[in-house]
Homo-oligomer: A and B are copies of this chain.
Amino acid sequence: MTQAERSLQLTNALRDAGVRITRQRAALLEVLSVADDHPDAIELHRRAEIASPGISLSTVYRTLTALEEQGVIHRHQFEGASARFEHANADHHDHMIDVETGEVVEFCSERIEKLQAELAKELGYEIVHHRMELYVRKTQN
């Protein structure tokens, strides 16, 4: 499936869910699908203005909330920073945040996930979702 097909499929699904695809929303969807980093609302606003000049910050926030509710994007609240977003089409993963640069690296560990589930079960719980963030620094040499 090409990128254009995937994009069309997504907008159709959103329309079916009652989410109107306006110029502003199309711009944000494009910006999000292209992004390979984890931008915050302000940065997304900046990027969306290129395709949709005059788009307001409230629209950005409202759209991000709507897309999150539809499961199209994920919202992350890293320490001491405003919320950062990413497209949800990748597999589940967790994050390492470079404390010097703010750069985010994705990683995944089946083994950790399994241990988490076991620990929860032992205490009589099931996991609804989890958050695991490693605040890291580049090792010398």
- Cross-chain contact A123 with B107 (CB below 8 angstroms): yes
Q: How large is the interface on A (under 10, 10 to 19, 20 to 34, 35 or more residues)?
A: 20 to 34
CB-CB nearest in chain B for A130:
B134
Distance, CA A112 to CA B110, complexed state (A): 11
- Cross-chain contact A136 with B125 (CB below 8 angstroms): yes
Instruction: With both chains docked as a complex, state the minimum distance between the C-beta of A74 and any C-beta of chain B, in angstroms.
Output: 13
Given the interface contacts A79-B77, A105-B123, A139-B124, does A116 sit within 8 Å of B129 by beta carbon? no
Assess whether A62 is interfacial by the CB under 8 Å rule: no
Residues of B within 8 A of A116 (CB): 112, 132, 134
CB-CB nearest in chain B for A123:
B105
- Cross-chain contact B134 with A133 (CB below 8 angstroms): no
Assess whether A30 is interfacial by the CB under 8 Å rule: no
**Copy total for this chain:** 2
A94-132 interface mask toward B, CB cutoff 8 Å, 1 = contact, 0 = none?
Answer: 001011000001010101100110011101111111111
Assess whether A135 is interfacial by the CB under 8 Å rule: yes
Residues of B within 8 A of A79 (CB): 77, 131
Residues of B within 8 A of A130 (CB): 132-135
Residues of B within 8 A of A135 (CB): 127-131
Instruction: With both chains docked as a complex, state the minimum distance between the C-beta of A95 and any C-beta of chain B, in angstroms.
Output: 10
Residue ranges of A at the interface with B (Cβ–Cβ < 8 Å): 77, 79, 96, 98-99, 105, 107, 109, 111-112, 115-116, 119-121, 123-139
